[in-house]
């Protein structure tokens, strides 16, 4: 009770007490002045008593109402907190990538979060939940009273979903969680294929080194004239192995490197790489020319140099004597263009979409004998895409190939 209210009620109480004693004095028959004074005196004492009792009563009411006020505000705080918690939970469920579906004991779908609506067909009853495998998981969780899990395929294009159903024994509700594992499954398959392919690629030169070394040993004992042939074979296979390991390390480095970007003068960098390739070009009698503008690109100098080196290496390996290779660097529309064109053997049209894949070669035997690993273009693609660029190729069998890298300048 606030201060003015309290004062008002005290005044009223006092007034009632006085009125009561005055009325008593007035109604007493044949009352003299002395009696009137006594009655008034008694009235004042009575009023005082009533006032005192009233005051105590009022204090009790005040304490009780203060308690009530406390209880009300506590209840309100609890309700506010529950509302905050509910809102927070809803916000979390709205942004998580995992689908969440709550199925009631009566098989009514009590809640579906936005991610679930995107992964499965929205439904309000368990019996119409699609994919059907989800219904099985929920029923199984109820019967077996444990968490049930399963992989399901759904949608177009097909996505791989990993679902789990958890039973709440208290109210028999079942919580379904659905995770899209399409990408992670695909990455895992790529990783497995890569390990298998890399092991296979490593096995070939290793087997050749072992066989040639054994043959070399026998030749040294029985046929020294043929020893040199086997020694050459050992050396060739060892070089092939070394190149393979070096390309694998390059690929792993460009894949895992958190690029430290610097301003790279692409024209100058390309000229350095062309200068390095001149000795080999002279060896195979291929004309090598370069026309490089000064274009600056933000990126990793060693990685960009590695990409250009791989394109040059390919051009040199696939261009026969008397052919030519021309390299250019130019800029237009805020892009930097690097081209490496050769007059070599060219690539069949149907092979073009696959040549950037790891270990893909148009002619495996030829690639190996010329020192290829099938990783060169995969490294180029990775570096270029890591720089937000694109790599493309035009080629005609027997005429030549032209690789082009476009980067943001």
The stretch near ligand ADP (CB under 6 A) out of 69-77, 84-92, 199-207, 341-349 is: 341-349
Count CB-CB contacts under 10 A for residue 374. Answer: 20
The tokens describing 184, both together, are 């992670």
Q: How many residues does the chain have?
A: 409
Site string for ligand ADP, 343-382 (x = CB under 6 A): -xx-x-------x----xxxx---x----xxxxxxx----
Cβ within 8 Å of residue 181, ≥6 positions away: 151, 160, 161, 162
By beta-carbon proximity to ligand ADP, the closer residue of 334 and 398 is 398
By beta-carbon proximity to ligand ADP, the closer residue of 99 and 344 is 344
Q: Is the peptide bond preceding residue 131 cis, with omega within 30 degrees of 0?
A: yes
Q: How many CA atoms lie within 13 A of 156 on its CB side?
A: 0
Smallest gap from residue 353 Cβ to ligand ADP (A): 11
> What is the chain's alpha carbon radius of gyration, rounded to the nearest angstrom?
45
Smallest gap from residue 197 Cβ to ligand ADP (A): 13
173-176, Cβ contacts within 8 angstroms, sequence gap of 24 or more: 173/102, 173/103, 173/104, 173/105, 173/110, 174/102, 174/103, 174/138, 174/141, 174/142, 175/100, 175/101, 175/102, 175/103, 176/99, 176/100, 176/101, 176/102, 176/103, 176/116, 176/134, 176/137, 176/138
By beta-carbon proximity to ligand ADP, the closer residue of 136 and 204 is 204
Query: To 10 degrees, what angle do helices 266-283 and 301-317 make?
Result: 30
Count CB-CB contacts under 10 A for residue 348. Answer: 12
Q: Strands 287-292 and 324-332, how do they pair?
A: parallel
By beta-carbon proximity to ligand ADP, the closer residue of 303 and 342 is 342
Smallest gap from residue 383 Cβ to ligand ADP (A): 13
Smallest gap from residue 316 Cβ to ligand ADP (A): 8
Smallest gap from residue 154 Cβ to ligand ADP (A): 36
Closest CA to 379 of 408, 354, 358: 358
By beta-carbon proximity to ligand ADP, the closer residue of 250 and 406 is 250
Smallest gap from residue 286 Cβ to ligand ADP (A): 11
The tokens describing 393, both together, are 């190729």
Site residues for ligand ADP, window 300-339 (CB under 6 A)? 314-315, 318
By beta-carbon proximity to ligand ADP, the closer residue of 99 and 374 is 374
Residue 342 binds ligand ADP, judged by CB under 6 A = yes
Contact (CB, 8 A) for 128 and 136: no
Site residues for ligand ADP, window 87-146 (CB under 6 A)? none
Smallest gap from residue 312 Cβ to ligand ADP (A): 9
By beta-carbon proximity to ligand ADP, the closer residue of 83 and 396 is 396
Site size toward ligand ADP, by CB under 6 A: 21
Smallest gap from residue 299 Cβ to ligand ADP (A): 21
* Cα(408)–Cα(296) distance, integer angstroms: 9
Smallest gap from residue 118 Cβ to ligand ADP (A): 38
* Cα(175)–Cα(138) distance, integer angstroms: 8
By beta-carbon proximity to ligand ADP, the closer residue of 179 and 401 is 401
Smallest gap from residue 296 Cβ to ligand ADP (A): 27
Residue 389 binds ligand ADP, judged by CB under 6 A = no
By beta-carbon proximity to ligand ADP, the closer residue of 130 and 238 is 238
By beta-carbon proximity to ligand ADP, the closer residue of 116 and 270 is 270
Q: What angle do CA 11, 12, 16 make, to 5 degrees?
A: 120
List residues binding ligand ADP (CB under 6 A). Answer: 314-315, 318, 342, 344-345, 347, 355, 360-363, 367, 372-378, 401
């Amino acid at each position: 009770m606030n201060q003015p209210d309290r004062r008002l009620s005290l005044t009223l109480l006092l007034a009632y007490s006085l009125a009561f004693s005055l009325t008593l004095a007035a109604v007493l028959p044949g009352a003299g002045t002395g009696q009137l004074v006594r009655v008034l005196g008694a009235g004042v004492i009575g009023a005082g008593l009533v006032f005192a009792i009233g005051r105590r009563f009022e204090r009790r009411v005040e304490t009780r109402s203060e308690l009530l006020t406390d209880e009300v505000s506590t209840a309100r705080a609890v309700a506010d907190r529950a509302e905050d918690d509910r809102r927070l939970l809803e916000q979390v469920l709205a942004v998580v990538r995992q689908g969440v579906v709550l199925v009631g004991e009566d098989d009514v779908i009590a809640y579906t979060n936005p991610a679930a609506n995107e992964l499965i067909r929205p439904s309000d009853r368990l019996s119409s939940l699609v994919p059907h495998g989800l219904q099985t998981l929920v029923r199984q969780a109820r019967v077996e009273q444990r968490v049930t899990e399963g992989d399901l395929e759904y949608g177009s294009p097909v996505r791989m979903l990993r679902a789990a159903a958890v039973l709440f024994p208290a109210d028999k509700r079942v919580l379904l969680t659905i995770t899209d594992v399409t990408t992670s499954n695909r990455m895992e398959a790529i990783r497995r294929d890569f390990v298998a392919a890399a092991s296979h690629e490593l096995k070939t030169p290793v087997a050749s080194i072992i066989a040639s070394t054994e043959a070399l040993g026998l030749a040294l004992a029985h046929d020294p004239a043929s020893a040199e042939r086997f020694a050459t074979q050992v050396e060739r296979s060892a070089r092939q192995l070394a190149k393979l390991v070096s390309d694998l390390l390059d690929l792993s480095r460009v894949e895992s490197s958190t690029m430290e970007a610097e301003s790279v003068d692409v024209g100058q960098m390309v000229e350095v790489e062309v200068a390095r390739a001149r000795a080999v070009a002279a060896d195979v009698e291929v004309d090598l020319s370069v026309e490089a503008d000064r274009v600056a690109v933000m990126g990793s100098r060693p990685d960009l140099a590695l990409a250009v080196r791989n394109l040059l290496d390919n051009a040199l390996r696939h261009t026969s004597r008397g052919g030519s290779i021309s390299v250019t660097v130019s800029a237009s529309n805020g892009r930097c263009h690097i081209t490496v064109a050769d007059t070599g053997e060219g690539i069949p049209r149907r092979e073009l979409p696959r040549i950037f894949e790891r270990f893909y070669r148009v002619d495996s035997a030829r690639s190996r004998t010329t020192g290829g690993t099938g990783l060169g273009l995969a490294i180029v693609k990775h570096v270029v895409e890591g720089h937000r660029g694109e790599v493309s190729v035009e080629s005609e069998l027997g005429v030549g190939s032209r690789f082009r890298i476009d980067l943001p300048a």
